[in-house]
A = this chain, B = another copy of it.
Amino acid sequence: MNYLDLQDPRPIYEQITDMYRMLILKGAMKPDEPMPSVRKLAMELSTNPNTVQKAYTELEREGYIYSVKGRGNFVRDNPDLREKKRKELKDRLDAIFKEASDIGISREELLK
């Protein structure tokens, strides 16, 4: 089980979303598998339920999970997410290459 890193400059809710995005994209959590309950995860991470709720709301908005009132949150079956993530990583890669090229460092020099 992963724990939060208080040294990490990212806000707690973002560390939680990042953690579950990876678990879901990696296939470690399968479609329709239940997410930990908001209150339980808050206790496990020694954080506030509102913070977990905020993370879950964000994951739902992004299509990673869905929520059923009174029952809990569940992993969504969303095959597009992987492709979206690939594109996002590709864009970040290109931004780095551009930054490098602006100061005269070539792709090759960076990759080697």
Binding site for B on A (CB under 8 A): 6-7, 9, 11-12, 22, 25-26, 32, 61, 66-71, 74, 76, 82, 85-86, 89-90, 92-93, 96, 99-100, 102-105, 109-111
Q: How far is the CA of A7 from the CA of B26 in the complex (A)?
A: 21
User: Are B7 and A76 within 8 A (Cβ)?
Assistant: yes
User: Are A89 and B93 within 8 A (Cβ)?
Assistant: no
User: Are A102 and B6 within 8 A (Cβ)?
Assistant: no
Q: How far is the CA of A71 from the CA of B50 in the complex (A)?
A: 14
Contact of A89 among B9, B61, B100 (CB under 8 A): B100
User: Are A111 and B93 within 8 A (Cβ)?
Assistant: yes
Q: A76-B7, A89-B110 are in contact. Are A102 and B66 (CB under 8 A)?
A: no
